[in-house]
C-alpha cells in the first residue's frame, strides 16, 4: 500500500529521472554528410559531354 501512495505523491518521478538521464548522457552529434548528388551529376555530365564530342568527331570524319 505504501508503494501505491509513493506513486501518487510523485507522478512525474520517472519522467524527471528520464530527463535527467538525457541531460547527463548527451551523445555527440554526427558530422553532417556531404551530399553525393552533385558529384553524380558532374560524372553523368562528363560522360554525356564525351559521348557528344565522340559522336560529332566520328560523324564528321
10-50 tens-digit pLDDT: 565 677 777 787 787 777 777 888 899 999 999 999 999 99
C-alpha cell recorded at residue 24: 547527463
Work out whether the CA dihedral 18, 19, 21, 25 comes out positive or negative. Answer: positive
Task: State pTM to two decimals.
Answer: 0.48
Tell me, what's the pLDDT at 33? 87
Q: How do the residues of the chain divide into helix, strand and coil, expressed in percent and rounded to 5?
A: 70, 0, 30
pLDDT classification of 52: cutoffs 50, 70, 90:
very high
Amino acid at each position: 500500500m505504501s508503494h501505491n501512495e509513493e506513486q501518487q505523491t510523485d507522478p512525474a518521478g520517472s519522467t524527471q529521472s528520464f530527463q535527467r538521464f538525457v541531460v547527463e548522457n548527451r551523445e555527440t552529434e554526427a558530422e553532417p554528410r556531404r551530399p553525393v548528388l552533385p558529384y553524380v551529376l558532374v560524372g553523368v555530365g562528363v560522360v554525356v559531354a564525351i559521348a557528344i564530342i565522340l559522336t560529332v568527331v566520328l560523324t564528321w570524319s
